[in-house]
A and B are shown apart, each in its own frame.
Chain A
Amino acid sequence: MLAKVLAIRMVRLIATLFVVSLLTFLLVEQLPGDPILAILPPEALDDLENIERIRKELKLDDSVFTRYARWVGDALQGDLGKSYITDQPVAEAIKDRIPVTIELALLATMIAALFAIPIGALAAYREGGYFDRITSALTTAALSIPGFLAGIFFIWLFTLKFNWLPSTGWNRLSEKGLLANLQTAILPASALALAPLAINARLIRADMIGTLKEDYILSARAKGLRDRYILMRHALRPSSLTAITVFALQLGGLIGGTVVIETVFALPGLGTRLISGIYQRDVMMIQGITLFIATVYVVVNTAVDLLYLALDPRIRRQ
């Protein structure tokens, strides 16, 4: 049974990746006119010899199918072509930029978890109480504030008003150490964490309310165990499954969500590279980074599905 479920998931994963790659490929392929016009910067279009050379290099005269197959084949081997604007290989740009993006996504998840779990648990513990009502209003507000606006507000508050933290720039973990790195990472990660924090606090609250109504909680109460003990040991543990899943599910989304936050804080991440690629109309770069982010997103989500399957025996049995 499990093998069958696994097989179905794998087939779906491959089918999805196929369509994702096809869409990304067609994105550029479907551009009106000669693809060379899109790939090369306008100033390079006068040099006819150069155009011929690149046309040969890209084998643009082959059929669409051949070129798609070759493009996917190359991509599987880690070759996403190169930018014809900066001459940088796309894969190299991704490798260079991805640590910042991953760190931001992980740090944001940690911040969100750190606040969402206790907020959700406490709100559920006294459902309808003051704490519950106040946090419920705050999470609604947090969910409605766009990430970039939160980022700008943080810059205004912590940099311009209090001058506690730098507003832009990035200290690499490997070069400057943890503390200097966190100084530049904490504001963008917090802005990024706002939405998942609010969503997760709500989900954990809803889940805990259900758990707290179970009979075994009543029997723990009857045994005279302290409330805090019951909350931490009896209720939080079964609800943690929900928590793990939602956090993992959002990780994939966060990798896309860092795009705008990186831009607000001018961080050297994958998102800013994508945006600068868009401003320069660097089609190869846009195509490569889009394929990469979409692939990560799809793979992470499938992995989370499987993780959920592995963790919850009830689902496994179905």
Chain B
Amino acid sequence: MSGRRQQRVLQIFSAMPLIVKIALLWLIFILLAAIYSRLDRLFGQALPLQDPFYQPFLFGEASPVEGPSSAHWLGTDVLSRDNLSRLLHGGWVSLVVAGTVVMFGIIIGGFVGAFVGYARGRFEAITMASLDVILAFPPLILLLALVAVYKVRNLTMIALVFGVLGVPTYVRIARASTLGVAGREFVQAAEAIGTPRRAILFREIIPNILPALFAYALINAGYVIVIEGTLSYLGLSVQIPEPTWGNMINEGRRDIRQTILPIFWPGLFLTLTVVSLNLVGDWLQQRIAVRDAAL
């Protein structure tokens, strides 16, 4: 990273309100932690992290639902498995699903939206009308029906289904911001000097709609994590014993009369992550509004 750019990043960071800084740091922590847990899995538990499946109480080494200790920083669950390790592995599931939706949304949805918004004409009308029909379906019900009938239970397929279903909203947002950008002076100037339309699309339009898409993507990622958590809670996402925040809450629900701790941690991680995404997304959206007004 060049010195100037580094300075710019620091400048933006220090201009953030404190709560947004904390939110951003939490998101970075969750991201790194999930990647760390995944690397640990890939290298066969070579890194310092407890095994998320190991149940020491079967071997008389620990009792279920222990409080925090030096071996288990966040305590253990009803099957005496390590809470911290399960939380990090569960975070990976949420991140993969949310990340897939965001990537599909920005790459496919962003491109299609910018294209139809700039090209206009009949193709735009057809695309938007068909998207309206898909968006008319209640999202959770559509997902439930899909995963139920097709027995989608592994992470790759779940992420793909989420990713495809997420695209229409991104198309809408990309198109709406394209309509706003396409009328601006710099686009007219580029058209006036005879720049090919394709070059305008890629050099003028798309770079200018990306910030709005990113801001939406952050808030959308929070929504996706909630929906995946809901499916997991219903036992219709990635299957146990593979931990997800949703199925950890589901497993803890059964023993709620004895202890709320097994629900507390995944609930906290889930909520903090979604709050953080919303905070950073809101902040970005406000910044874009200020920037747009200044242009």
Cβ contact within 8 Å between A145 and B271: yes
When chains A and B are docked, how far (Å) is the Cα of A28 from the Cα of B150?
A: 9
Given contacts A143-B278, A274-B144, A297-B136, contact A260 B234 (CB under 8 A): yes
Known: A15-B133, A140-B275, A144-B275. A149 touches B249 (CB 8 A): yes
- Chain A residues within 8 Å of B257, by CB: 160
Knowing A27-B145, A149-B270, the reply to whether A253 touches B249 (Cβ < 8 A) is no
A139 to B205, CA, bound (A): 34
Of residues 122 through 137 on chain B, the ones whose CB sits less than 8 Å from some CB of chain A are 132-134, 136-137
Tell me whether B138 is interfacial, beta carbon within 8 Å: yes
In the bound complex, residues from chain A placing their C-beta under 8 Å from that of B146 are: 27
Contact B138 A294 (CB under 8 A): yes
A148 within 8 A of B: yes
Q: Which of A244-266 contact B (CB under 8 A)?
A: 252-253, 255-257, 259-260, 263-264
Residue pair A152, B149 in contact (C-beta under 8 Å): no
Q: In whole angstroms, what is the CA distance A35 to B228 when docked? A: 28
How many chain B residues touch A (CB < 8 A): the figure is 38
CB-CB nearest in chain B for A278: B148
CB < 8 Å neighbour of A290 from B132, B145, B249, B253 = B145
Q: Is the CB of A156 within 8 A of B230?
A: no
Q: Which of A132-188 contact B (CB under 8 A)?
A: 140-141, 143-149, 152-153, 155-156, 160
Segment at the B interface, from A17-25, A102-110, A111-119, A120-128 = A17-25
Interface size on A, residues (CB 8 A): 49
CA distance A259 to B144 in the complex (A): 10
Chain B binding surface SS class: helix
Least Cβ–Cβ distance between B120 and chain A, in angstroms: 20
- Determine whether the beta carbon of A286 is less than 8 Å from that of B145: yes
Chain B contacts for A31, CB-based, 8 A = 149-150
Known contacts A146-B226, A253-B138, A260-B234: A19-B133 contact under CB 8 Å: yes
Query: A20 CB to closest chain B CB, in angstroms?
Result: 6
Most buried by A among B149, B226, B267: B149
Beta-carbon contact of A259 and B149 below 8 Å: no
Chain A CB within 10 A, most for which of B134, B145, B226: B145
B141 touches which of A263, A277, A290 (Cβ 8 Å): A290
B230 & A286 in contact (Cβ 8 Å cutoff): no
In the bound complex, how far is the Cα of B269 from the Cα of A145, in angstroms? Answer: 11
Say whether B214 faces chain A, with CB atoms less than 8 Å apart.
no
Partner of B267, one of A149, A155, A287: A149
Tell which of A20, A148, A152 touches B136, judged by Cβ atoms closer than 8 Å: A20
Q: Which of A20, A149, A257, A286 has a CB less than 8 Å from the CB of B148?
A: A286
Contact in complex: A24, B145 (CB < 8 Å): yes
Query: What is the 8 Å Cβ interface bit string for chain A, positions 31-73, against chain B (1 contact, 0 not)?
Result: 1000000100000000000000000000000000000000000
Q: In this assembly, does A283 line the interface, its C-beta being within 8 Å of a C-beta of chain B?
A: yes
Q: Would you give the shortest CB distance from A3 to chain B, in whole angstroms?
A: 21
How many contacts A-B (CB < 8 Å)? 113
Q: Would A141 and B256 count as touching, CB distance under 8 A? A: no
A253 to B141, CA, bound (A): 10
Partner pick for B256 among A160, A259, A290, CB 8 A cutoff: A160
Q: How far is the CA of A148 from the CA of B247 in the complex (A)?
A: 12
Task: Tell me, yes or no, whether A16 is within 8 Å of chain B by CB.
Answer: yes
Q: List B contacts of A290 (CB < 8 A).
A: 141-142, 144-145
In whole angstroms, what is the CA distance A162 to B273 when docked?
A: 29
A200 within 8 A of B: no
- Give the nearest-CB partner of B260 in chain A: A156
CB proximity of B156 to chain A, nearest CB, Å: 18
Residue of B nearest to A275 (CB): B234
Complex Cα distance, B230 from A257, in Å, reads 10
In the complex, per-residue mask of B227-242: 1 if CB is within 8 Å of any chain A CB, else 0: 0011001111000000
Residue of B nearest to A15 (CB): B133
Contact check, B270 vs A152: say whether CB atoms are below 8 A apart: no
Residue A239 at the B interface, CB < 8 A? no
A294 to B139, CA, bound (A): 9
- B84 CB–A CB distance under 8 Å: no
Task: Please name the residue on chain A nearest to B257 by beta carbon.
Answer: A160
Q: Which 10 A-B pairs have the closest CB atoms?
A: A256-B138, A278-B148, A144-B274, A144-B275, A290-B145, A146-B226, A297-B138, A19-B133, A16-B136, A256-B141
Can you identify 8 A-B contacts, CB atoms within 8 angstroms? A140-B282, A144-B226, A144-B278, A256-B141, A260-B140, A263-B234, A274-B144, A281-B148
